[in-house]
Amino acid sequence: KILVVGACGQIGVELTLQLRKIHGEGVVIASDLREEHPLLKGTGPYVSLDIMNKETFHVLVLRYNITQVYLLAAILSATGEKNPTLAWHINMQSLLNVLEVAKEENLAKIYWPSSIAVFGPNSPKDNTPQHTIIEPSTVYGISKYAGERWCEYYFNRYKIDVRGLRYPGLISYKSQPGGGTTDYAIEIFHDALSSGQYTSFLKEDTYLPMMYMPDAIRATIELMEADASKITIRSSYNIGAMSFSPGEIAAEIKKHVPEFSINYKPDSRQNIADSWPKNIDDSDAKNDWGWKPEFGIERMTEDMLRNLQK
Ligand code: VAH
């Protein structure tokens, strides 16, 4: 059985639905601290779980005969800066709880996402390599980098088959984002359709690596289904699809919503965005398990607007 922790979050909802499509509804147990997300209702088993409680998590793994865990629960970059020690505690202890139980129960596979937020001001900004200077300057990035090292440690020492992806900013219409710096790229679509106007909290020319959620979900599944012998990165793979700035996505939206207008009021999130790469070198993901993105800015914009207008 597969357990998704954080199943009601921006990634969790769509990942749970896709895993249920592939493995069958009864096989995938969705769990979260919050109540069941409307899109999950009626699609399979749901349990309330506080992943910070190792004992209740361990009991749940035994009761439901769990052999794989996807851990999506985390405090993201912007929220993390408001409460650094809480973000560190939640992001790290949840992972350590999962890795420890994976060792104690010899679980088959663990998925834990990292982020391009692991890169800091001293990392190369263009074609950021898989292995480079990594000095994260946000608590979220620090926790994701530390988590990558823990995943590699449990693989090397206890042979736990843990895998991960350094997600770029993710864009989706099905579920709400949760406190990220890249969330402007989701808000802009909602505002374009509701008010025709958007005030961006990042500057016009702030380029960031981005990915449409269908690509991110497919990448996660393809990574987890790849033969273990192909996986050469046990921290977390760089992965990319596109990069754009608020100015560029606004121009793309304007092609569909001519009256749309944007203005810029950078806030504290600008400093976070400025510390991150502009685009990512994901050649390891391409070479090891055949990664290939399918959505660019045009196709994503068209799909986002069409689905949000429904
Ligand atoms: C955030 N959406 O903004 C997340 C992600 C790379 C960005 O980690 O914090």
Q: Where do runs of H (alpha helix) occur along the chain?
A: 10-23, 54-63, 77-82, 84-104, 139-158, 184-194, 213-225, 246-256, 269-274, 283-289, 297-309
- Selection from 171, 174, 172, 146 nearest residue 74 by Cα: 146
159-178 tens-digit pLDDT: 999 999 999 999 999 988 88
175-188 tens-digit pLDDT: 888 899 999 999 99
- CA–CA distance from 96 to each of 11, 52, 143, 146, 210 (Å)? 20, 9, 12, 11, 28
Would residue 140 show up in a list of annotated catalytic residues for this protein? yes
CB 72 within 8 A of CB 11: yes
93-113 tens-digit pLDDT: 999 999 999 999 999 999 999
DSSP state of 178: -
Q: Which atom of ligand 1 is nearest to the CA of 209?
A: 6
pLDDT of residue 208: 98
Angle at 276 between CA 214 and CA 261, to 5 degrees: 65
Distance CA 197, CA 208 (A): 21
Catalytic residue among 70, 111, 140, 145: 140
pLDDT of residue 186: 97
CB 67 within 8 A of CB 44: no
Distance CA 238, CA 300 (A): 21
Residue 141 near ligand 1, beta carbon < 6 Å: no
- Selection from 276, 181, 282, 273 nearest residue 240 by Cα: 282
Residue 76 near ligand 1, beta carbon < 6 Å: yes
- Mean pLDDT confidence for 242-246: 98
Q: Chain-centre distance of CA 135, in angstroms?
A: 20
Kindly indicate the confidence band of residue 126, based on its pLDDT and cuts at 50, 70 and 90: very high
Kindly indicate the confidence band of residue 47, based on its pLDDT and cuts at 50, 70 and 90: very high
Q: Which atom of ligand 1 is nearest to the CA of 138?
A: 9
**Distance from the alpha carbon of residue 65 to the mean position of ligand 1, in angstroms:** 32
Kindly indicate the confidence band of residue 69, based on its pLDDT and cuts at 50, 70 and 90: very high
